[in-house]
Amino acid sequence: MSTQPTTHQHECCAAHSHETQKVSDTKIQVHPWLAPVVSLMLLSTGLLFDSTLAPWFTPSVRLLWYAVAYAPVGIPVLAKAFRLVMSGEVFTEFLLMSLATVGAFYLNEYPEGVAVMLFYTIGELLQDAAVHRARRNIQTLLDLRPANATVLRGNQYIKIPAAQVQPSEILQVKAGDRVALDGELLTAEASFNATALTGESIPKLLTQGQPVLAGMICEQQVAEIKVTRPFDESSMARILTMVQTAVSKKAPTELFLRKFARYYTPAVALLAATIVLVPWVFVKDYHFHEWLYRGLIFLVISCPCALVVAIPLAYFGGLGASSRNGILFKGASYLDKLSQTGTIVFDKTGTLTHGTFVVKNVVSQVATTEWLALAAALQSRSNHPIAKALIKYVQASAPFQVNQPQELKGLGITGIVNQQHVTVGTTRLLSHLGIAFPTQLNDITSTLACVAIDKVFAGYITFADELKADSAATIAQLTRAGINTIILSGDKQAVVNEVAAILQVPTAVGNLLPEDKMQQLQSIKAASVKPVAFVGDGINDAPVLALSDVGIAMGHGTDVAIETADVVIQNSEPSKIITALKISKATQRIVWQNIALALGIKLIVLALGAGGIATLWEAVFADVGVALLAIGNAVRIQHRQIGT
């Protein structure tokens, strides 16, 4: 059983999903789980009748009952085996499954034959659903592209489908609206939230002639934009294309059972035939039915039921354990890949940080810091993230009278507070108002708010995007575990360097657009011999989440990042990555324990069966019994307490 379908497995699963979903000559859709549910109900009822020795459950009725139970799950596999044989691919797991189950029916072990096919079908359906879940949801990106745009036509603005807007036309974007197409700003200046593209949490002030990208959100004003690219070539459209391309580059993992079946299936078929036919040459009292019975027992014992159950159940146990720890894996294959990961790449904003500002430092140029409370009072009239951080920091209780507040977009705010003229903003705002300030402020790389009282510089406040409480401990544990850590961010390089220094991350690159992150990640993957994971939370992270071997999204991030990722940390705590790693490694250990258990016992009983020592009781144990042992082993991980 694989954690990701191979070509034949996928085709078989497709056969199950299509052949059971569609009724010939009709449009009726049937749920793909209907066939295994019906088979399970009939099998369970038949076993009940067997145990109660119901008088009406005669051999003929019993055969018919189990044949009906077998049909929903067995016929698609039998048909697939036949088609592959006809196409020249004889030795496949489909043929072995077919021979083993038909052999079980020949030996009157009907429940065994039904159970084998039932387990196989359930496993295939579960795996198919897990692998394709993320891909089906990629289309969510389209929801972020505005369907309509307001365009200037005939001396008036009208709303039309965004796809109909042509280059050189003029768009009007109101406050709070998302820009639908790429263009150049015609308005003198306007503030835009570019988080969707760069991940940078600070609104970006653009001036006339500067490029505006689709996906940006206009902040608190109306802006006019001249379109430079058609809708399908916009920044958001390119992100969608990159995500789809990156997903298509994920090669399907060829897992253990498929590889093993290349040798196991023809070997078992050849040995079974040898057991039946070779004794005819060497045994004097050769009885065909006796040796055929041994050969069929051999096939029943060698049926891959235990392997089919052992591997996926170990993964399902890991998936269950991770779910209880607030970690969602979108497929068992990502448990496998994460356990082998050698490098984890982090986005900064919203991933290692909260994505919200806090006051980092307050520097006063006057004798007292009364100016700080006045600045906070004025900032209470603003919705800017920096204003909210300052208000939270000061927590002033004294009443302030604020008059004539005037916010200059991207520069700051001025007003009268308790009859004093207060200015809070950038050095550009101070220069614009003719307020003198120390020139070294221009060299500060942190986010800065300068304060002047009655046009006299009073001091400044620096702000930082607050690190999550467990970010440093997470990086430290990853480093101790021998995993490389890297930061790729759309934020300023100076800010990224500062965060990297605090967390002790050796490599950190800033000022990256989605295309740049893609190139950086491709280089990292090319230089790494082990899988590379990426952790992010924003729309701009969607392409790299899809391109990485394991994409990990923060649960408080954007819907697109969550849908594109392979793993979702529901509470957005970086430390959960450590928990996920521990669960993935524990799952891998159980997987290989189950493989060793299944193969070891089977090889022993196979030898006994070939010698005529093992009976059907041993055959049942070697198949169903080993499967139950594997189930018990897999369940262990679900009850383990795995901490960070």
Residue 336: its pLDDT value, please? 84
C-alpha to C-alpha distances, 193 to 61, 133, 144, 231, nearest whole angstrom? 71, 31, 14, 20
Decide if pLDDT at 174 tops 80.
Answer: yes
Whether residue 427 lies inside any domain: the answer is: yes
Active-site choice (128, 182, 347, 491): 347
- 34/14 Cα distance (integer angstroms): 15
Instruction: Report the predicted TM-score, pTM, of the whole model to 2 decimal places.
Output: 0.59
Domain end among 409, 440, 467: 467
Same domain, 60 and 120: yes
Same domain, 1 and 131: yes
Q: What are the structure tokens assigned to 114, written together?
A: 């039904």
- 55/528 Cα distance (integer angstroms): 67
Whether residue 150 lies inside any domain: the answer is: yes
Task: Based on DSSP, count helices (H) and strands (E) in the chain, helices before strands.
Answer: 23, 22
Q: In what side-by-side order are the strands of the sheet with 189-193?
A: 204-207, 189-193, 217-218
- 301/311 Cα distance (integer angstroms): 18
Decide if pLDDT at 198 tops 80.
Answer: no
Residue 9: its pLDDT value, please? 41
Same domain, 42 and 113: yes
What integer best gives the mean pLDDT of the chain?
79
Decide if pLDDT at 16 tops 90.
Answer: no
Residue 3: its pLDDT value, please? 38
Same domain, 84 and 162: no
What is the CATH classification number for the domain harbouring 180? Answer: 2.70.150.10
- 208/211 Cα distance (integer angstroms): 9
Decide if pLDDT at 19 tops 70.
Answer: no
Same domain, 380 and 446: yes
Domain that holds residue 358: 354-467
The torsion angle over the Cα atoms of residues 325, 329, 335 and 341, rounded to 10 degrees, is -90
| Least confident among 342-356, 404-418, 494-508, 514-528 | 404-418
Residue 105: its pLDDT value, please? 84
Catalytic residue list contains 177: no
Whether residue 533 lies inside any domain: the answer is: no
Same domain, 191 and 103: no
Whether residue 343 lies inside any domain: the answer is: no
- 356/465 Cα distance (integer angstroms): 5
Whether residue 93 lies inside any domain: the answer is: yes
Residue pointed to by tokens 């020795």: 53
Q: In what side-by-side order are the strands of the sheet with 211-212?
A: 156-161, 148-153, 170-173, 223-227, 183-185, 211-212
Whether residue 453 lies inside any domain: the answer is: yes
Same domain, 169 and 45: no
Same domain, 34 and 111: yes
Same domain, 24 and 109: yes
Same domain, 121 and 163: no
Domain count for the chain, please give it. Answer: 3
Distance between the two ends of the chain, CA-based, in angstroms? 30
Q: Residues 469, 575: contact at Cβ < 8 Å? A: no
Domain end among 233, 257, 281: 233
What is the CATH classification number for the domain harbouring 392? Answer: 3.40.1110.10
Whether residue 481 lies inside any domain: the answer is: no
pLDDT, tens only, 402-448: 888 888 866 888 999 988 999 998 888 899 889 999 988 888 877 78
- 189/82 Cα distance (integer angstroms): 70
Decide if pLDDT at 262 tops 70.
Answer: no
Q: Residues 240, 141: contact at Cβ < 8 Å? A: yes
| pLDDT band at residue 573 using 50, 70 and 90 as cut-offs | confident
Same domain, 99 and 169: no
- 534/578 Cα distance (integer angstroms): 14
Domain end among 87, 103, 136: 136
Average pLDDT of span 117-135: 60
- 231/506 Cα distance (integer angstroms): 40
| pLDDT band at residue 140 using 50, 70 and 90 as cut-offs | very low
Answer with the residue of higher pLDDT: 8 or 52.
Answer: 52
Q: Residues 486, 346: contact at Cβ < 8 Å? A: yes
Average pLDDT of span 603-609: 75
Q: Residues 421, 325: contact at Cβ < 8 Å? A: no
Residue 635: its pLDDT value, please? 67
Residue 149 burial (CB count, 10 A): 27
Q: Which DSSP symbol is given to 253?
A: P
Decide if pLDDT at 582 tops 70.
Answer: yes
Partnered with residue 190 across adjacent β-strands are 206
Same domain, 119 and 167: no
Q: Residues 574, 351: contact at Cβ < 8 Å? A: yes
Whether residue 206 lies inside any domain: the answer is: yes
| pLDDT band at residue 10 using 50, 70 and 90 as cut-offs | very low
Note every long-range contact of 598-607, with CB atoms under 8 Å and residues 24 or more positions apart, other chains counting. Answer: 598/306, 598/307, 598/310, 598/626, 598/627, 598/630, 599/307, 601/306, 601/626, 602/301, 602/302, 602/306, 602/626, 605/301, 606/271, 606/298, 606/301, 606/302
631 Cβ neighbours under 8 A, 6+ residues apart: 309, 313
564 Cβ neighbours under 8 A, 6+ residues apart: 134, 137, 138, 141, 243, 247, 542, 545, 546, 551, 553
